[in-house]
Chain A
Amino acid sequence: MTKAAGHHPTELDVVLARHGRDRLRLVQILREAQEIEGWIPPETVAAIARALDIGVGEVESTLEFYSFFYRRPRGAYVVLFSDNITDRMLGNRSIFDHLARRFGVRRGEVSSDGLVSLDYCSCTGLCDQGPAILVNGVAIPKMTLARADQIHDLIRSKVPITAWPKEFFQIDHNIRRADMLLGSPFVPGSALKAAIAMGPEAFLVEVKRSNLRGRGGAGFTTGVKWEAAKKAQGDERFIVCNADEGEPGTFKDRVLMQYYPERVIEGMALAGFVTGARSGLIYLRGEYLYLKTPLEEKFAELRAGRLLGRNILGVEGFDFDVEIHMGAGAYICGEETALIESLEGKAGRPRIRPPFPVVCGYKNKPTVVNNVETLCKVTEIALQGGATYEGYGTKQSTGTKILSVSGDVERPGIYEFPFGVRVNQVLDEAGARNPKAVQISGASGACLGIREFGRRVAFEDVPTAGAFMVFGEDRDMFEVARNFAHFFAHESCGFCTPCRVGTAIQAKLMDKIANGHGTQYEMAELTHLREVMRAGSHCGLGQTAGAAIADTIGKFREDYEKRLAHKDFEPAFDLDAALARARSVSGRDDAASHILDHA
């Protein structure tokens, strides 16, 4: 203890110094402080609070919010199994159980020797190569029982992760269909040169002419967003790249950041060029930790080539640089105002809008938040002009969209299509196996049945942030919806009651039906709850948290009906078992001491 006490402050001091004891960097400080012991003990919390000159409660409020921060000791190896429905379909549960048995540890617990802890986590964005796990934050795809055994042995012999076989960590891009973006070569600096030649005003006109709409989900027109940030009052501006990609089933931003990082970073510089922002921040989800170092190496390379930093490409006064902020396991931080709160070191709770981030964002300064894919698209516009988008895609959704296809298909992976592509065509190209449903745009999106496979992927018809999960004819859509219900209950930030309580009740009702205690009453309750959450929630999470259930009730009601008890109502618990304790202490076993339901 004394030894530890003498030792920790120095390591923690290094972390604190690295972040300039800046309160706004609390999330980053906590991430790095946690690396010292694998968890964050109360003394560390107190030390951080002192160093940043804020209350312990403030530190704790951030600490408590994020799934990847631990306030109790964890195993030396923390193994988290991605638990998206696609991981389940690939058998993650049996691999988890196998590993739990071999380690003799239960879910959420630390083994008695402190070696390992095992748990599930939300989708890790490796749906095309699942089941996936994170070991001490680093992703390992394509888990099998055999690989689980190897991992077991490595952990038992305390081999550091850095010495594990390299192929474990091999993440494939699985690009199956390349179009405008993925198929074109890109010379770093070429888009910036083109934009500089045009000048910021003319380039903004091109961005507006393209009618490019945000690829992060909401589909806001990028040119309009940039213009608003440019015109807003402020002595400082920021460009934020939203790389939180937390929507279950979405993984295209991961591929873009790993294989097209120059496009992403140059897109940010272009946004800086137009709006006058000098700083860029990439908010990278914690699950993508393995992308951090390669991206930072790329920054250094670009700085050396004068594509980042001061006087970019020799243009006097065109300064722009970027840095990475890591997330810590919170889906809600993909919502742009929650993201900004998280950038500022706080719990990721969505702000009240207006004011919008373009006027009052990071540090209350004008801030552009764009999705990774959107930022890649603007490099195309710089190179080819906004007019190339005309006639590509549909009227209101121009250009191409990258889809992340997973589930029951022969060729899961990344597909770039012009907007307006029919669901059927995507299914054909991916080799879907007797599909009965497609969940588009993730857990918060829409569930389409066979009769809707002729519909188009576009903002006018079926909008999407990119997820495209395919379910074959044998899949149980009730279990799909139940998986999403638990996802939302876990990810609700808790700020507003309709969502905090609604998502919890929704998950309980789904469990009740799953356990055979559901009736038509629960069905009616689910429908009612969906309306309350849709109408009463503060942000998109709560507003869409009931969508998948409503869709599957509408389209796959038989998957629910077969579980329902044909009664007026059934309690979720066993009434007779609830009397057992009192029966035993009173020694009774008479008829009145039982409640026997004749089913």
Chain B
Amino acid sequence: MFHVAPTTRKRKVRIATTSLSGCFGCHMSLLDIDERLLALAEIAEFDRSPITDIKHCGPCDIAIVEGGVCNAENVHVLRELRANAKVLVALGACAVNGGLPAQRNHVDVGECLARVYTHRSEGQAGAVPNDPELPLLLDKVHPINEVVRVDYFVPGCPPSGDAIWKYLTDLIDGRIPRLEHPMLHFD
């Protein structure tokens, strides 16, 4: 597929990351590359990411997406990343398949919201919040490839720090990323 960098690298590779409908576990796993973070910082810099707290991303080389798409905001963030990134990666089970949040797909979202907000105990009558600030839920949680084009899928819940490191360095060095069986072996 795509190579991120030309054979001789002059500028740093720009990476954006986001957690859509995920648990941040995949980001924690990214931090699990430990001291290799320093090596990564030599060759890469971060655009929009929980690591930098930049809110909107600009043109970048790699977008790493954790989590599936469960609400309107997720759609906008994901599309912004896709529009700006050369290579977009689904990181972890939630981004790849919908994962744990997709467990809600067999319940009606309306009933689910009503159950949580209106059927309160002790006679309090609540209402489903209607603040426009709140991202509105989609009726189903979708893996990200159902909403944008995805270049790579890295499975795992979460993928290990080693797998993420191997994947990123392959990509940055212009090799076809390849995760051998032990890195995809979860039991």
Contact = CB atoms under 8 A, between A and B. Distances in A.
Interface of A: 519, 521, 568-569, 571-573, 575, 578-588, 590-595
Interface string B19-42: 000000000000000000000000
A587 B130 contact: yes
Interface in B129-187: 129-130, 132-133, 135-140, 142, 146-149
B113 interface: yes
A573 B146 CA distance: 8
B72 interface: yes
Contacts of B108: 581
B110 A585 contact: yes
Given A578-B140, A586-B113, A586-B136, A521 B149 contact: yes
Q: Which of B108, B114, B139 has the most CB of A within 10 A?
A: B139
B129 A571 contact: no
Contact of B130 (A581, A588, A591, A594): A588
B128 interface: yes
A594 B135 CA distance: 10
Given A579-B136, A581-B110, A593-B72, A587 B128 contact: yes
Interface residues of B, number: 25
Nearest first, the 9 A-B pairs at minimum CB distance are A569-B149, A590-B132, A586-B128, A585-B110, A578-B138, A582-B137, A581-B110, A586-B130, A593-B136
B82 interface: yes
B100 interface: no
A572 B129 CA distance: 29
A255 B113 CA distance: 62
A409 B148 CA distance: 44
B129 A586 contact: yes
Contacts of B75: 575, 595
Contact of A568 (B114, B138, B139, B149): B149
Contacts of A578: 138-140
B140 A593 contact: no
A595 B132 CA distance: 13
29 contacts: A521-B149, A568-B82, A568-B149, A569-B82, A571-B142, A571-B147, A575-B75, A578-B138, A578-B139, A579-B136, A579-B139, A580-B139, A581-B110, A581-B139, A582-B109, A582-B110, A582-B137, A584-B110, A585-B109, A586-B130, A586-B136, A587-B130, A588-B136, A592-B132, A592-B133, A592-B135, A593-B132, A593-B136, A595-B72
A588 B72 CA distance: 13
A592 B149 contact: no
Contacts of A573: 142, 146
Interface string B112-132: 011000000000000011101
A592 B72 contact: yes
Contact of B138 (A582, A584, A585, A588): A582
Contacts of B129: 586
A587 B146 CA distance: 27
Given A592-B72, A595-B72, A595-B75, A582 B136 contact: yes
Interface in B32-84: 72, 75-76, 82
B139 A569 contact: no
B126 to A, nearest CB: 12
Residue of A519, A586, A592, A595 ringed by the most chain B CB atoms within 10 A: A586
Nearest to B108: A581
B169 to A, nearest CB: 25
A18 B76 CA distance: 66
